[in-house]
Amino acid sequence: MPSSRAPLWCGLAAAAVGAVLCVLGWYGVSGERFAERQLPYLASCTVPGAALIVAGAVLIGTAPAGRGPVRAAKERAGGPAAEPEEPPAPSSEAPPVRVPGGTLAHRPDCPLVAGRDDALPAGDSELAPCPVCEPWPR
């Protein structure tokens, strides 16, 4: 069932009318030298124009989200569009390793040290645990 676009179009129209009123109010105020002659333009154009801009923004913000082509294709392919998942944390139970000159202990399959030929066993070194792989239980 297609969603109603009325809030979106009403919001755009309200924001456009509000912008026109603000411009008219500014033009009227700029032509007057004395403050007492500027107040009618502020009261009749600028303040209502600003209120219409805010109302339009609220209507645009509450309008139902459109179905873009990517989202519609994902829904056709197998259900609702899913958020991308974070990769799981490394889970190797082997002894922690470190890199030369490093200050962190890592699991051997940690993405920060995986594939490095210079990784050494951590041993009894005073190293902080890696925040990515967390080699020791907390």
Query: How do residues 49-97 score in pLDDT, each as one tens digit?
Result: 999 999 999 988 888 776 544 555 555 665 555 566 666 655 667 788 8
Enclosing H/E stretch for 2: none
Tell me what the pLDDT averaged over the chain comes to: 80
User: Do 97 and 121 contact (CB within 8 A), yes or no?
Assistant: yes
pLDDT on residue 21: 92
Q: Looking at the whole model, is its pTM more than 0.75?
A: no
Higher-pLDDT residue of 69, 117:
117
